[in-house]
Structure 1
Amino acid sequence: MDTSTQSNNEDAPHPYVEQGRLLFARDVTFMRSAVSLATLPDPGPPEICFAGRSNVGKSSLINALTNVNGLARASNTPGRTRELNYFNMDDRIWLVDLPGYGYARASKVDIAKWTELTRAFLRGRAQLRRVFVLIDSRHGLKESDFELMDMLDEAAVTYQLVMTKADKIKPPAVVKAVAKAQSQIKKRPAAFPVIIPTSSVKKTGLDILQGEIASLALPDHRV
């Protein structure tokens, strides 16, 4: 796996921060919601995905990254996202919002349907560059997160952890949460080694994440 796009030194600027700023300053538009493989858009530019447990702050992070309020539908009802939502970023990269997982009140039928759709999508999209797995900084990795990472390891799809809601805990606790997660993924074959702590409210880490996404839009990128 390519680890050249970012250093483990948190004080070092991401080499693609400026490219990320320029990318996210351009138009980002909703494309479509896919409820099956047949309704996915035809292959186009590189794709990146956001995945995470229900209520991890996925919609809020997408809205904060793009500076478009309401682009991704945030809801107080866990498990609302039941399809793959596609967003077009200046025709350079497509952002995909995957259904939330780990919500116990969802029916077993719905859970099985979402899981199978996600699994089939991950295995079948050749242009998929990376899955950003969102983890609540306050709670760390849960069983459902490990299940998703098992699926990604099996499919050989590169994924990177993004810690959300970092403003909800003290800075030393954020460092501790990142270090713990780092140790938990270090032997996973498809895990990108750098974890990005973020806050949609304070805008913390968003420039780093934007830079990472911009690097994945480059035609010569190697996963």
Structure 2
Amino acid sequence: MDEIVRAAPPRPAARAAAGGSRATPAARAAPPPRRAPEPPPEDDGPDPWDRSARAGEESNAVADPEELIRDAKELFALLTGGDKVAFWGAALVLLSCFLPWKDTAADGDILGLMSMGVGAFVLSILVMTAVSLRVKGSLQNVNPVVPWMGQLLCAFICLVWCVIYIKTASDSTKVPSGFGNAEVVNSSPSLGVYLALLGSLAALGGTLLGLKGKSAR
């Protein structure tokens, strides 16, 4: 019986098992299946938190300090005669507004910018701007008389403004001092307003001098 069983042909299941065992190495060597390509990420636009572009725009918007210094040197080189007197007179008024314009018994020193002196501050800037635009020739399409008249009017108003301020700041009423039993005046003009008065006189005189030189040509 044992010899007959050994001589019998193998069963189909055994053949399949034998074939499967032989096919296993080939199946292991087969390449893995390829994955489908992933779709590209959607572009949602620039990052709202990215400030690199904004920083570049802000850096372009800010003027170069060297260029400002160069423009100032060119302007100072173009100033001659009455224009130089008017420009630096207005600059003196501008600086005087950072000094005390009035001394009061109650509040002490009051700066020009903290009082009516701010009007002289604005007028002095207008005078300096008019001189700069006219000297550089930036108003070619405007009648030359217009900047001259604007400069003259601003300088004159600035002078009148300073005179009125001196009048209103002078109050000789005696009031008790905060220290001891002495009496002091209620308010009096300080150094700043007198410097502004001097500067406005120079601005007005320089403007008239420039007009006289222009009419003589």
Using the size of structure 2 for normalisation, the TM-score is 0.22
Structure with bigger helix share is 2
TM-score, reference length from structure 1: 0.21
Which of the pair has more CA radius of gyration? Answer: 2
